[in-house]
Amino acid sequence: MRVPKLTRSIRQLSSHVLAIFLGVVLTFTTLRVLPSEAEPAPKATAANPPELLTQRQSPASAAIGSSSFVTAAVNRVGPAVVRIDTERTITRRNDPFFEDPFFRQFFGDGFSQQPSREQLRGLGSGFILDKSGLVLTNAHVVDKADRVTVRLKDGRTFDGKVQGIDEVTDLAVVKINAGNDLPVAPLGSSSNVQVGDWAIAVGNPLGFDNTVTLGIVSTLKRSSAQVGITDKRLEFIQTDAAINPGNSGGPLLNGTGEVIGINTAIRADAMGIGFAIPIDKAKAIAEQLQRTGKVAHPYLGVQMVSLTPELAKQNNTDPNSPIQIPEVNGVLVMRVVPNSPAASAGIRRGDVIVQIDGQAITTAEQLQNVVENSRLGQVLQLKVQRGNQTQQLSVRTAELQNAS
């Protein structure tokens, strides 16, 4: 028996209505499953101060209330966050083609032009370290600037003098003369930071002054090599708090409004991934920049990569491979810088460093940290695997003159 089209349509409509009804019931049922008052309250920790627990337990009540923990944190440090504007004049040379004698012989000097001058402007952030007017920011914000202008949140503007720059850690100290009534950013400790802690970024992204973004600490000790900044010696705090151009040099705060990092880098190919220099590292560098205007970094003079037996085996089974590599865990030397401490010590391309001063070395980041924490002129004892032989080499560290 054929079912009339009208009847089928009614049945289909009934089915849709029933599905929608069940969906509504399920939706309301889901929305009702909220934390009850009988559930245990979160414990107070450094990341969850007692005064913030009520707000974190109920985001709705925090929104309805007069302020949130983010508001309290920003109010605590906000006045000490500054905007940094820079100006730099560069001279562009003429195209050498127009200066070619053969060209000028036929066309004369009519095409000759004076070198052009161009003024470049930059924008960044920073924060005040003490009442005397010391401002901490990124080196790339003020590097090679002819003029630095520091603008406070209250609208006051001052000329800034760069007291010191360290390209290796991308940190700089700027001095402003503004009396002794300046607000100061409270500094925390990055050693107490844990993955999952609140992260609040404050700065001037894209020129939008006094911007605040909220996220969490995504991971810790993300190496500069992993980030893609191979000329730096840093282990970053990674966060998903939105960081954009102009945030550079601004503070990354914890939930209580203490500075735990300096916002520094982003990945152009990613969203929700930003990086900050840990404040403990920044404090140590800032002290040296205040005293001497620079920071001395020891170096060996090798370009290197982490090596595993699996990677070495892949290389060795490749008939086009130029060298055979020991199939061990260690750090493979890809290049030795001429006239460097490594070159003087006899380190060669293809060597695998497996120990320093008796400490096993398995990654390039680990080796870099050992060298960075050594003293200038200190002799390091390296155990090197060269082919089937083991070599013991002594390397005396020297000062890194140019970060590039």
Residue 248 among the catalytic residues? yes
| 93 inside domain | no
Q: Are residues 320 and 390 in the same domain?
A: yes
| 23 inside domain | no
pTM over 0.85: no
User: Exactly one of 85, 125, 166, 170 is catalytic; which is it?
Assistant: 170
Contacts of residue 357, defined as CB under 8 A and 6 or more positions apart, other chains included, come to 370, 380, 381
Q: Per residue, what are the HEC states of the chain?
A: CCCCHHHHHHHHHHHHHHHHHHHHHHHHHHHHCCCCCCCCCCCCCCCCCHHHHHHHHCHHHHHHCCCCHHHHHHHHHHHHEEEEEEEEEEEECCCHHHHCHHHHHHHCCCCCCCCEEEEEEEEEEEEECCCCCEEEECHHHHCCCCEEEEECCCCCEEEEEEEEEECCCCEEEEECCECECCCCCCECCHHHCCCCCEEEEEECHHHCCCEEEEEEEEEEEEEHHHHCCCCCCCEEEEECCCCCCCCCCCEEECCCCCEEEEEEEECCCCCCCEEEEEHHHHHHHHHHHHHHCCCCCEECCEEEEEECHHHHHHHHCCCCCCCCCCCCCEEEEEEECCCCHHHHHCCCCCCEEEEECCEECCCHHHHHHHHHCCCCCCEEEEEEEECCEEEEEEEECEECCCCC
Q: Are residues 333 and 352 in the same domain?
A: yes
Residue 68 among the catalytic residues? no
| 207 inside domain | yes
Domain containing 213 — which CATH number? 2.40.10.10
Q: Which of 265, 292, 319 finishes a domain?
A: 292
Q: Are residues 256 and 303 in the same domain?
A: no
Q: Which of 292, 315, 344 finishes a domain?
A: 292
Cα–Cα dist 13/7, whole Å:
10
Burial of 67 (0-12, 13-18, 19+ CB in 10 A): exposed
| 287 inside domain | yes
Q: Are residues 285 and 373 in the same domain?
A: no
Contacts of residue 375, defined as CB under 8 A and 6 or more positions apart, other chains included, come to 298, 397
Q: Are residues 302 and 366 in the same domain?
A: yes
Q: Are residues 277 and 242 in the same domain?
A: yes
Overall domain count for the chain = 2
Q: Are residues 207 and 288 in the same domain?
A: yes
If one counts every other C-beta atom within 10 angstroms of the C-beta of residue 385, the result is 22
| 91 inside domain | no
Q: What's residue 41's pLDDT?
A: 42
| 71 inside domain | no
What is the tens place of the pLDDT at every residue in 303-356?
999 999 999 999 999 998 888 899 999 999 999 999 999 999 999 999 999 999
| 357 inside domain | yes
Task: Let me know how long the chain is.
Answer: 404
User: Exactly one of 190, 223, 224, 248 is catalytic; which is it?
Assistant: 248
Residue 170 among the catalytic residues? yes
Sign of CA dihedral 143, 145, 150, 151: negative
What is the tens place of the pLDDT at every residue in 339-350?
999 999 999 999
Q: Are residues 306 and 349 in the same domain?
A: yes
Regions of the chain short of the pLDDT cut 70: 1-66, 92-116, 402-404
Q: What's residue 269's pLDDT?
A: 80
| 56 inside domain | no
Domain containing 303 — which CATH number? 2.30.42.10
Q: Are residues 261 and 340 in the same domain?
A: no
Cα–Cα dist 186/151, whole Å:
19
Burial of 64 (0-12, 13-18, 19+ CB in 10 A): exposed
Q: What's residue 266's pLDDT?
A: 86
Burial of 340 (0-12, 13-18, 19+ CB in 10 A): middle
Q: Are residues 393 and 369 in the same domain?
A: yes
Q: What's residue 97's pLDDT?
A: 59
Cα–Cα dist 283/261, whole Å:
10
Q: Which of 262, 292, 322 finishes a domain?
A: 292
**Residue 227: domain span:** 190-292
Q: Are residues 258 and 215 in the same domain?
A: yes
Q: Are residues 311 and 260 in the same domain?
A: no
Residue type, 90: I
Q: What's residue 9's pLDDT?
A: 43
User: Exactly one of 140, 197, 223, 224 is catalytic; which is it?
Assistant: 140
Instruction: Please give the C-alpha separations between residue 369 and each of 297, 356, 360, 385, in angstroms, as whole numbers.
Output: 11, 11, 13, 21
- Do 238 and 252 form a contact (C-beta atoms < 8 A)? no
Q: What's residue 175's pLDDT?
A: 96
Cα–Cα dist 150/130, whole Å:
15
